[in-house]
């Protein structure tokens, strides 16, 4: 693809900005690494603040006209974008598999599918969303916030791109996107779909680059009215600090250390099996993964046996292999971090049930991690406190239901919680006490209409459907709009 070394700005693919002090022949580039082979397979250009300036200027110039478009015009645009995305669906899925290591089946059935699902749901949302409401003589209006800077991660790339771009388009905002430089190629494909769909020039702009350079320039930019960030809590703090001087809105979806409370009346086999599989899906690289499994102390040994059997059936291997359940993690940095945390679990006295340090048997290349389960974990252990972002589960025995709830909430994070029970009434009562933005009872089907986002250090604001659209709108009250 010829566009990997270009940026999409003001409706065209352009070369990076020229720095007079730098020879154009040695512009900064970055190899994209295939995590299954550890070999580069593509190269992208890395942007600078000058590229961000150009993209923001284009977005600001496009905002007056785009913000004034009708609901019907934006719906037609988004429907064309959905068609253009669907036409590239297989290419997006294959690219995601290559650049971030997702098994081919997962990439096609889940990773790429998230793009379709979120855009389709936002189209439905826009069809009936109320942008105005008359309260007495006052008109309450919801208007596009302006230019939005978007910084997205590598673990569910097209999901997070669509969770920002779709509501921004629905609201009438213009935007500048910086995808993860680790998995950026799907964003290029998406930008090609944007162009094919006829999105007006300047409405959507794409600049590749790293966080300290392009990400910070977006967050600091006085021409950006809102920054929407998804990533680690550590990086989210830096984005918020960079944005503070311009008092822009900061929308964040950050890390998690989600608790999975299995109550004593749950179907233990099902609860543990699905808990392990959910934790390790996407090689454990999901911010809402249920990584802390709380089980009654009396059932701890049974839970260990089920977890061991389940984890050992999850085959790690080449993404293209039909029987692969776990691909590699995304990078050497992530692999090394996960290995350190596994070693910390062993050193701090957790019981290693299965897995452990190193690659799975038979794999001597690629960032593969052994599906790992620890038991008899205590709340003070590193593996119970830190987000590992790999296929590593901690099983924590508890005495009473009250104790389980207290300990589950004893975390700086609050993205998601999980409750398993044979009694829906009992599960609901526990769910009501969880301090998290999402609670999942008995591993339900995914819901594109449920608000997604966290409490505490898991961020602020929400995504999905009307909850996501609201984040990109300002509220105006026009008093005296109607006769009193």
In this predicted structure, the answer to whether residue 427 has a pLDDT above a threshold of 90 is: yes
pLDDT at 276: 98
Q: 169 and 39, same structural domain?
A: yes
pLDDT at 2: 75
The mean pLDDT of 193-206, rounded to a whole number, is 98
**Residue pair 234/437 in contact by the 8 Å Cβ criterion:** no
Q: 263 and 176, same structural domain?
A: no
pLDDT band at 357 (very low <50, low <70, confident <90, very high): very high
Q: What are phi and psi of 372, to 5 degrees?
A: -125, 135
In this predicted structure, the answer to whether residue 18 has a pLDDT above a threshold of 90 is: no
Two structure tokens written together for 238: 């830096």
**Residue pair 118/464 in contact by the 8 Å Cβ criterion:** yes
In this predicted structure, the answer to whether residue 467 has a pLDDT above a threshold of 70 is: yes
How many whole angstroms from its chain centre is CA 199? 24
pLDDT band at 22 (very low <50, low <70, confident <90, very high): low
Helices 89-100 and 185-196 pack at an angle, to 10 degrees, of 160
Residue 483 lies in a domain: no
How many Å apart are CA 126 and CA 82, to the nearest integer? 14
Return the SS3 of 18: coil
The mean pLDDT of 271-279, rounded to a whole number, is 98
Nearest alpha carbon to residue 285 among 126, 106, 456: 106
Residue 435 lies in a domain: yes
How many Å apart are CA 179 and CA 150, to the nearest integer? 8
pLDDT band at 352 (very low <50, low <70, confident <90, very high): very high
Mean pLDDT of the chain: 97
What is the extent of the structural domain holding 89?
Answer: 2-254+458-478
Q: 462 and 439, same structural domain?
A: no
Q: 428 and 469, same structural domain?
A: no
How many Å apart are CA 202 and CA 10, to the nearest integer? 4
In this predicted structure, the answer to whether residue 19 has a pLDDT above a threshold of 80 is: no
CATH number at residue 54: 3.40.605.10
Q: 355 and 322, same structural domain?
A: yes
**Residue pair 333/324 in contact by the 8 Å Cβ criterion:** no
How many Å apart are CA 276 and CA 262, to the nearest integer? 12
pLDDT at 21: 58
Active site residue 253: yes
Q: Mind listing the pLDDT tens digit for each residue in 287-330?
A: 999 999 999 999 999 999 999 999 999 999 999 999 999 999 99
CATH number at residue 311: 3.40.309.10
Q: 428 and 387, same structural domain?
A: yes
**Residue pair 170/473 in contact by the 8 Å Cβ criterion:** no
How many Å apart are CA 71 and CA 171, to the nearest integer? 9
Residue with the two structure tokens 């179907």? 267
Number of domains in the chain: 2
Count the Cβ atoms, other than its own, within 10 Å of residue 108.
Answer: 18
Kind and range of the H or E run holding 118? helix 112-128
Catalytic residue among 163, 173, 279, 287: 287
Residue 484 lies in a domain: no
Q: 338 and 434, same structural domain?
A: yes
Kind and range of the H or E run holding 141? strand 138-144
Nearest alpha carbon to residue 441 among 262, 283, 318: 262
Residue 453 lies in a domain: no
User: Global pTM?
Assistant: 0.96
The mean pLDDT of 199-215, rounded to a whole number, is 98
The mean pLDDT of 109-132, rounded to a whole number, is 98
pLDDT band at 484 (very low <50, low <70, confident <90, very high): confident
Q: 440 and 331, same structural domain?
A: yes
Active site residue 72: no
How many Å apart are CA 385 and CA 407, to the nearest integer? 11
Catalytic residue among 181, 192, 216, 253: 253
How many residues does this entry show for the chain?
Answer: 484
Residue 59 lies in a domain: yes
pLDDT band at 187 (very low <50, low <70, confident <90, very high): very high
234: CB partners within 8 A, 6+ apart? none
pLDDT at 384: 98
Nearest alpha carbon to residue 240 among 471, 462, 460: 460
Please say whether the dihedral angle defined by the alpha carbons of residues 305, 309, 311 and 312, taken in this order, is positive or negative. Answer: positive
């Amino acid at each position: 693809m010829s566009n990997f070394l270009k940026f999409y700005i003001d409706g065209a693919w352009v070369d990076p900005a020229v720095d007079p002090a730098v020879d154009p022949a040695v512009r900064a580039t970055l190899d994209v690494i295939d995590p299954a082979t550890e070999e580069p397979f593509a190269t992208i250009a890395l942007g600078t603040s000058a590229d961000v300036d150009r993209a923001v200027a284009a977005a600001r110039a496009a905002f007056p006209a785009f913000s004034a478009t009708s609901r019907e015009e934006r719906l037609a645009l988004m429907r064309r974008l959905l068609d253009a995305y669907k036409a590239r669906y297989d290419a997006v899925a294959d690219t995601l598999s290559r650049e971030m290591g997702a098994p081919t089946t997962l990439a096609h059935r889940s990773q790429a599918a998230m793009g379709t699902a979120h855009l389709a749901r936002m189209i439905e949302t826009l069809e009936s969303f109320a942008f105005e409401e008359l309260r007495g003589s006052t008109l309450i209006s919801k208007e596009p916030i302006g230019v939005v800077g978007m910084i997205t991660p590598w673990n569910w790339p097209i999901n997070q791109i669509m969770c920002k771009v779709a509501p921004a388009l629905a609201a009438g905002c213009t935007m500048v996107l910086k995808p993860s430089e680790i998995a950026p190629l799907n964003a290029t494909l998406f930008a090609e779909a944007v162009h094919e769909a006829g999105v007006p020039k300047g409405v959507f702009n794409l600049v590749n680059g790293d966080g300290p350079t392009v990400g910070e320039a977006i967050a600091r930019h006085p021409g950006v009215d809102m920054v929407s960030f998804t990533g680690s809590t550590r990086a989210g703090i830096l984005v918020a600090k960079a944005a503070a001087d311009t008092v822009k809105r900061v929308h964040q979806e950050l890390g998690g250390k989600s608790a999975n409370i299995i109550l004593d009346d749950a179907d233990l086999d099902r609860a543990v099996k699905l808990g392990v599989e959910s934790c390790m899906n996407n090689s454990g690289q999901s911010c809402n993964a249920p990584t802390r499994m709380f089980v009654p102390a009396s059932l701890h040994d049974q839970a260990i046996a089920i977890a061991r059997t389940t984890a050992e059936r999850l085959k790690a291997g080449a993404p293209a292999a039909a029987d692969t359940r776990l691909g590699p993690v995304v990078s050497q940095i992530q692999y090394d971090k996960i290995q350190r945390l596994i070693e910390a679990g062993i050193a701090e006295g957790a019981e290693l049930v299965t897995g452990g340090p190193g690659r799975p048997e038979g794999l001597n290349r690629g960032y593969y991690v052994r599906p790992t389960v620890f038991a008899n974990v205590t709340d003070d252990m590193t593996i119970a406190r830190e987000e590992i972002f790999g296929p590593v589960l901690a099983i924590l025995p508890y005495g009473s239901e009250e104790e389980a709830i207290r300990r589950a909430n004893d975390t700086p994070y609050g993205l998601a919680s999980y409750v398993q029970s044979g009694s829906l009434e009992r599960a609901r009562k526990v769910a009501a006490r969880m301090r998290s933005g999402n609670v999942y009872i008995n591993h339900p089907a995914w819901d594109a209409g449920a608000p997604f986002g966290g409490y505490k250090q898991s961020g602020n604001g929400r995504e999905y459907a009307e909850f996501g659209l609201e984040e990109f709108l300002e509220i105006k009250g026009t008093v005296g709009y109607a006769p009193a």
